[in-house]
């Protein structure tokens, strides 16, 4: 049986197209343009790339993009004052503070100062609680993108065994909540899990989000399973800089039924979901 490549790039383009249509309709019917504010503190090169890409795609779907680039030594008080202004700005429907923040800033404090209804990352403690109790919330973009690809590929996920490898607040934990919401039997595995290959071999769905290049091996995967690779790792191979996931793609693709490539899998879906969340925040703000 040959493996299906889950094309996140094409799926993300479709989602962005749908968002753009809604944005255009919203402008016509209500004279409102959704706005996304992105805050970057410091000059981390990877964060700069992400923020540029987010701004570009925000404009491409017809939304307003507000970029706030702050010095690396910005004080917590100044950052909180900016967030307070954005919370009260009616033209801003979504706020994203790019992580990681410089060490002197308290990430939890900063994230929890964002108005929950504008928290398009879904990281605010209120949104985490709402998701955990199955209530309407802002859902973190990367796990939401993974869920959309899984639903598209499988239809119903009900009753499937899902193993999430990684327990981060950004991906692992919300991913597990979303899969549970779709009636999967969910296991969260992590660096201390005993006999991870054995745990993974029971999985119909594997979501790898450990941040370790090519960690999950093909012979840990159940034949025919669906593998979602959240990892984005830069490595040197044969003297070249290469982007690889958390799954050893070469061996995994010989066993899996379907797999997301890196690049071109989960990555593009994350920003598409950010735009969808901003549109949702805008619509909810209007009741
Ligand atoms: N840094 C890496 N991924 C993310 C994300 O999804 N949201 C934010 N705010 N920062 C990140």
Question: How confident is the model over 91-143, as pLDDT tens digits?
Answer: 999 999 999 999 999 999 999 999 999 999 999 999 999 999 999 999 999 99
Number of CB atoms found within 10 A of residue 149's CB = 22
**pLDDT tens digits for 262-285?**
999 999 999 999 999 999 999 999
H or E segment and range at residue 236: strand 233-237
pLDDT band at 232 (very low <50, low <70, confident <90, very high): very high
* Site to substitute for ligand 1 among 146, 170, 268, 276, most atoms within 8 A of C-beta: 170
Q: Per-residue pLDDT averaged across 185-211, rounded? A: 97
Active-site positions read 54, 98, 121
The alpha carbon of 287 and the centre of ligand 1 are apart by a number of angstroms equal to 28
Domains, the chain, ranges and CATH? 32-115 (3.40.50.10860), 141-267 (3.40.50.720)
**pLDDT tens digits for 38-82?**
999 999 999 999 999 999 999 999 999 999 999 999 999 999 999
Q: How far is CA 67 from the centre of its chain?
A: 20
Cβ burial, residue 18 (10 Å; 0-12/13-18/19+): middle
pLDDT band at 286 (very low <50, low <70, confident <90, very high): confident
> Could you identify the residue written with the tokens 């990877």?
46
Q: Per-residue pLDDT averaged across 244-263, rounded? A: 98
Please state the pTM of the whole predicted model.
0.97
Is the distance from the beta carbon of residue 98 to the nearest atom of ligand 1 less than 6 Å?
yes
Q: Per-residue pLDDT averaged across 234-259, rounded? A: 97
Contact 146, 269 (CB under 8 A): yes
- ipTM exceeding 0.85? yes
């Amino acid at each position: 049986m040959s493996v299906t490549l889950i094309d996140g790039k094409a799926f993300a383009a479709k989602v962005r197209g749908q968002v753009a249509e809604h944005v255009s309709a919203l402008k016509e019917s209500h004279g409102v343009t959704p706005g996304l504010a992105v805050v970057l503190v410091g000059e981390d090169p990877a964060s700069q790339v992400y923020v540029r890409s987010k701004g570009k795609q925000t404009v491409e779907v017809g939304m307003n993009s507000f970029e706030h680039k702050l010095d690396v030594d910005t004080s917590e008080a100044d950052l909180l004052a900016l967030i307070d202004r954005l919370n009260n700005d009616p033209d801003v429907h979504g706020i994203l503070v790019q992580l990681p923040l410089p060490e002197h800033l308290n990430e939890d404090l900063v994230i929890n100062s964002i108005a929950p209804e504008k928290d398009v990352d879904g990281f605010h403690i209120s949104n985490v609680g709402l998701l955990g109790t199955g209530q309407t919330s802002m859902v973190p973009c990367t796990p939401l993108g993974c869920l959309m690809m899984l639903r598209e590929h499988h239809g119903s996920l009900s009753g499937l065994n899902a193993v999430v490898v990684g327990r981060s607040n950004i991906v692992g934990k919300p991913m597990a909540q979303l899969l549970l919401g779709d009636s999967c039997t969910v296991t969260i595995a992590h660096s201390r899990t005993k006999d991870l290959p054995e745990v993974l071999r029971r999985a119909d769905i594997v979501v790898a989000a450990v941040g370790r290049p090519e960690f999950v091996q093909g012979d840990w995967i159940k034949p025919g399973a669906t593998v979602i690779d959240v990892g984005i790792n830069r490595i040197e191979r044969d003297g070249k800089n290469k982007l690889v996931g958390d799954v050893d793609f070469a061996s995994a693709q010989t066993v899996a039924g379907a797999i997301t490539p890196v690049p071109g899998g989960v990555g593009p879906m994350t920003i598409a979901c950010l735009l969808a969340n901003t549109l949702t925040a805008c619509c909810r703000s209007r009741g």
